[in-house]
Structure 1
Amino acid sequence: MAPKVLVVLTSHDHHNANGNPTGWFLPEFAHPWDVLHSKAELVIASPKGGKAPLDPSSVEMFKSDPVSSKFLNEQEPIWTNTVKLSDVASKVSEFDAIFYVGGHGPMYDLYSDATSLSLIQSFAAAKKPVAAVCHGPAVFVKATTPAGEPLLAGAEVTGFSNTEEDQVQLSSIMPFMLEDELNRVSGGKYVKATEPWAEKVVVSNVKGLGGVIITGQNPASATGVGKAILEALGL
């Protein structure tokens, strides 16, 4: 039987500071989906359920990326009919891993979503892989172990860097800088690629629990995160 992966998208569709549209980022779902969908059953969820907002800037930015274009044109029902996150909160035993798609949206809702944090804790406690890419690792900042320790304590981790945020000219409106928060909660273990926008995927053990945390820095890391999830599932 194929493993089952819970894929979580944001429900937040705008930047709070200026109202400009945001959401989840196209290649950060398209590329992992391309890697995973033929080998795992994927269930797509979001905090509000229903249509999860796709960041329109990511459609424009990656219009020449064939994987993203194909996904956009052929798979729309999977993000317009998402399951409500609370409806899977009691079904962790049915899944083998959880993966958070990036985009700026998770910085606003999934960062502090109680259902999401409970799911992360449950997956990690069950030694099931927890994964996120780009801004997705924001979901781990407030996550804890059952003992109340930060999930990322002592774990090497990556995510969208301050330099990259500066280069997309959004640092001034962010609720927090992801690199800074990941570095703080991990105890100085944040790492990044030698160059902005280069691929960086990190697989770390959850301290005291034995499961793995998989993080990717940016859109270029999305395929690698998908592959790391497969590897963690023994595929």
Structure 2
Amino acid sequence: MSTVKFVLFVLLCFKLTSTFAQQKILFVTSNQHYYGDTNIKTSNHFGEIVVPYDIFTKAGFMIDFVSPEGGAIPIGYINTSDSIQEKYLYDGFFMNKLKNTVTPNEIRTEDYVAIFYSGGGAAMYGVAENKTLQNIAQEIYTNNGIISTICHGSAGIAYLKDKNGKSLYAGRKITGYPDSFEKKEKEYYKTFPFAIDEAIKNNEGVFIYSDKGNDEFYSVDERFVTGQDPSSATKIAEEVIKLINQNFKNKNRIVQKSELEQIRATLIDYIEGTGNGEPERLRRAFHPDFNLYTVAEDTLWIRSGEKYISAIKEGKKTSRIGRIISVDIEKDAAIAKAEIVIPNWRIFTDYFLLLKYEGTWKIVHKSYSWQEIVEKEN
């Protein structure tokens, strides 16, 4: 069998299947680029995606992204002064997920323990009326899963019904971005297909919200976890995890991890372990005899992995920004490439050799080079 190249922008077109490892959560996004038929741009809210994504993945869940049409989705509302948003904006693996969302027809509902509808103005279009997405949510819920939404993402559940045609959340408390907060005099609002709170009420839900806004307001009612606006992202992610742990505590829904995800987890341990001051994560990523190699002043320079780890101070965070560029796997061997940016100093290019033994992928070799960051003159 020939070597299979796992260059990330190609790989993420691959349909994710049940051979992947962790319990999975499905993120629902929109392909809409404009408000209705206007030329006013809209998008999916980046912060409402990455904050829950970060919490879920750190808790051991795998995230798949779906959109009505599949493929690339527009993102916006980006705040690069937010460390979580900055981290994922420069994470090639993550960004390629957003470029290659799957279509509803590719989803196997039995693979998921929760479904999450992200927000942004784009969420008002194409999601709620998609029958396949409605069926996916209904089946996940019927299988004891959780339905969660944030802000305008609550529009996505406007028409959810059970198999008998009755509201899936009749009598349940649901929140989202209230219509009274919208700028109704603006052109964007005139294109909305419906008001979220009215749609929820029309489907027999009990719409609630906080008059304050931006105060982390959220609601948990049975297996519906909903947030009013971006400030609730952390809270609802934590609540979803609590419910999953309760509902699936004694159910064996964990399957074999894909090789790519195992390798990526090892590389992330290296990237984040170094950047966040977590030496134990580095020990988890490295083979005990791991070495680093580079060339300085035309001389080969070798450094032991243990010496590298000893220089990492517990809890001391740095400004390093890392991203995985590519991974190439052949059976129990792999090579990978990553880029590490240290602002106002250097850009490092890392090349890794990884081997799988005793069921675990370890970094056994790293070669690297760097270039200085040249400040532009005003």
Whether these two folds match at TM > 0.5 is: yes
Whole-angstrom CA distance in 2 between matches of 1:116 and 1:78: 19
Establish whether residue 230 from structure 1 lines up as the match of residue 241 from structure 2: yes
The residue type equivalent to 1:129 in the other structure is I
> In the alignment, what sits opposite 1:81?
100
Q: Please point out which of 130, 133, 141 is paired with 1:113.
A: 130
Asked whether 1:214 is paired with 2:225, we answer yes
CA distance in 2, matches of 1:97, 1:21: 30
Counterpart of 2:24 in structure 1 is 4
Q: Deviations for 1:70-106, whole angstroms, at most 9, x for unmatched residues?
A: 2222231120111222111xx1111111111111222
Residues 113, 144 of structure 2: 8 Å contact kept = no
Q: What is the alpha-carbon distance in structure 2 between the residues aligned to residue 204 and residue 43 of structure 1?
A: 24
Displacement of 1:175: 2.0
Question: What is the percent sequence identity of the aligned residues?
Answer: 23
Quote how far apart the aligned CAs of 1:31 are.
0.6
Would the aligned equivalents of 1:125 and 1:146 in 2 still touch at CA under 8 Å?
no
Normalising by structure 2, report the TM-score.
Answer: 0.56
Match of 1:104 among 98, 121, 143: 121
The count of residues paired between Structure 1 and Structure 2 equals: 222
Matched, 1:184 2:202: yes
SS at match of 1:67: helix
Unaligned runs of 5+ in 1: 206-211
Q: Is the 8 A contact 2:23 2:111 kept in 1?
A: no
2:160 & 2:228 partners in 1: Cα distance?
19
Q: Whose strand fraction is larger, Structure 1's or Structure 2's?
A: 2
Equivalent position of 1:175 in the other structure: 193
Query: Shift in Å at residue 171 of structure 1?
Result: 3.1
Quick one: distance in 1 between partners of 2:214 and 2:64? 29
1:36 aligns with 2:56: yes
Which of 17, 22, 26 pairs up with 2:42? Answer: 22
Structure showing greater Rg: 2
Runs of 4+ with deviation above 6 angstroms: none
Aligned-partner residue type, residue 90 of structure 2: N
- Judged with a 3 Å threshold, the aligned counterparts in structure 2 of structure 1 residues 78 and 97 are, in CA distance, closer, same or farther, namely same
Deviations 1:128-152 (A, max 9, x none): 1111111111111111011211112
Task: Answer yes or no: is 1:145 the counterpart of 2:162.
Answer: yes
Shift of 1:168: 9.9
Please tell me whether the aligned partners of residues 197 and 207 of structure 2 are also in contact (alpha carbons under 8 angstroms): yes
Q: How far is 1:167 from its partner? A: 8.3
- Aligned partner letter, 2:62: E
Provide the rounded CA distance (Å) in 2 between the counterparts of 1:83 and 1:184. Answer: 30
* Unmatched tracts of structure 2, length 5 or more: 1-20, 247-378
Higher relative CO (CA 8 A, sep ≥ 6), structure 1 or 2? 1
- The structure with the greater share of residues assigned to helix is 1
